[in-house]
Amino acid sequence: MLDAVHVGRQPIFDVQGVVVAYELLFRGRMDDVASGRQDTYATSAVMVNAFTEFGIAEVAGNRPCFINLTREFVTGRLPLPFGPEQVVLEVLETVYVDDEVIAGLTALSEAGYKIALDDFVWGSGHEQLLGLASYVKLDLLDGDLSRLDEIVAACREYPGLELVAERLETEEQVAIADRYRMELRQGYALSRPQVLSTPSLSPSRLRRLELVAALMSPDVPLEKITSIIVSDPALALRVLRVSNSVAAGVVSRISSVRQAVMLVGLNRIRRWATLMVVDDVAEAPEEQLLTALAQARLCESLAPRFRADPGAAFVAGLVTGMAGLMGTTTAAMAEQLPLTTEVSDAVTVGTGRLGEVLRAVRAYEDGEWGSDDLAGLSLDAMRWSTRTLTAAHRFSPTPAAKRRRGPAAPRLV
């Protein structure tokens, strides 16, 4: 069975009641996560799930997303794998403010990221960050309202700083937000969080570690990175989804995993791979992955017979195989990915040379092959897929160990 991943999404409204942003919230299990690392794990899981499992366009459209940051992300010890275009970095109230935190947030602000101060409390040390912030979130449910005049006055000394009234649960609290002319509002009185869910296949642990290790070399060949990614269908699909968020506003579309890697860039690929190691989850079902990967490889090998591009054929086969495996349609999956028209049309309506490749592979798998016997290519594709997945699972937990551990649950490495 496939695991499901979840992301909570709570709207943030303006004074007219229009949704202008979303806060992304962790929704999942913490069974195997040490109590001191739960905030970091939750942040990592939200980032990975929102950008690589759903695709940020599916989660938020073109609206900005508020994402909680722990000290590790603020100071750069863990990488931010995305640019500043569609995120607001929300500094948790639990982050102790010192020189390292101030330096980290200054660098993020200078890089174009917008900063929000969550559950702001005067005297906590976070007042030192007002000059770097674009938003201050004030808890009107459990916060100390006796100092609200002082806090709002201090915030208004910073031009452009917007106040977010959070945890609004009554009409009286909404009235307080109105009285202080707080620009943005969030809370159950306006809208409860919505939980988004999607089936998920986790890239193998070894492939993620191999990718991180390879990317540590400053002169690693692009072909090596691409070969690691295409050897794991779940990892390849995540890279394609990430490329979709990067591709916003880009005229060109992709037709191969190599193009997706080039579009995202090795630096961001490195950051995503590192974050996926932090977000270590259960291994994917090997037999199902083997089928999807073998199909993609067979499409790639068969492409020259139809004068089709092998890289594009691999992507078309991958999307088709993964859609069936994840219980969705190829059309729905194609909408999440920045595919070229040729690839998109092939997987959705079966047109073009790539469509011919897919039909030939499907006919062979259905036992309808004719003069073009694909047995040899299919056997080669299965051998290649078996080799790559065997290597990927060599150091993963044994089935007996998994049974002892019980149901799959996320844990930190």
pLDDT one digit per residue (tens) for the chain, 413 residues: 456 778 889 999 999 999 999 999 888 765 555 555 577 777 777 887 777 777 788 888 889 999 998 888 898 887 787 888 889 999 989 899 999 999 999 999 999 999 999 999 888 899 999 999 999 999 999 888 888 999 999 999 999 999 999 999 999 999 999 999 999 999 999 998 888 887 766 666 556 656 766 776 667 788 888 888 887 777 888 888 787 766 555 555 778 888 888 888 887 887 777 666 555 433 445 667 678 778 888 998 999 999 998 888 888 888 888 787 777 788 887 876 767 889 889 999 999 999 999 999 988 887 775 545 787 888 888 887 777 555 544 434 333 333 333 333 322 22
**pLDDT attached to residue 413:** 21
**pLDDT attached to residue 209:** 56
Q: Are 157 and 136 in contact (CB under 8 A)?
A: no
**pLDDT attached to residue 2:** 55
State how far Cα 388 lies from the chain centre: 24
pTM of the model: 0.61
Domains and CATH numbers, the chain: 3-197 (3.20.20.450), 222-413 (no CATH)
**pLDDT attached to residue 1:** 45
**pLDDT attached to residue 345:** 92
The residues facing 162 across adjacent strands are 135
Contact partners, residue 217, CB within 8 Å, separation at least 6 = none
CA atoms within 13 A on the CB side of 119: 11
> Cα separation of 63 and 60, whole Å?
6
> Which value, in Å, is the radius of gyration of the alpha carbons in the chain?
24
Contact partners, residue 404, CB within 8 Å, separation at least 6 = none
> Cα separation of 291 and 307, whole Å?
24
Q: Two tokens at 144?
A: 């100390």
**pLDDT attached to residue 181:** 95
Strand (E) or helix (H) holding 310: helix 310-325
**pLDDT attached to residue 91:** 94
What distances in angstroms separate CA 118 from CA 24, 69, 111, 344, one per listed residue? Answer: 13, 10, 20, 41
What distances in angstroms separate CA 125 from CA 137, 144, 162, 212, 292, one per listed residue? Answer: 15, 16, 19, 36, 52
**pLDDT attached to residue 397:** 38
- Helices 286-302 and 233-246: crossing angle in degrees, nearest 10, is 70
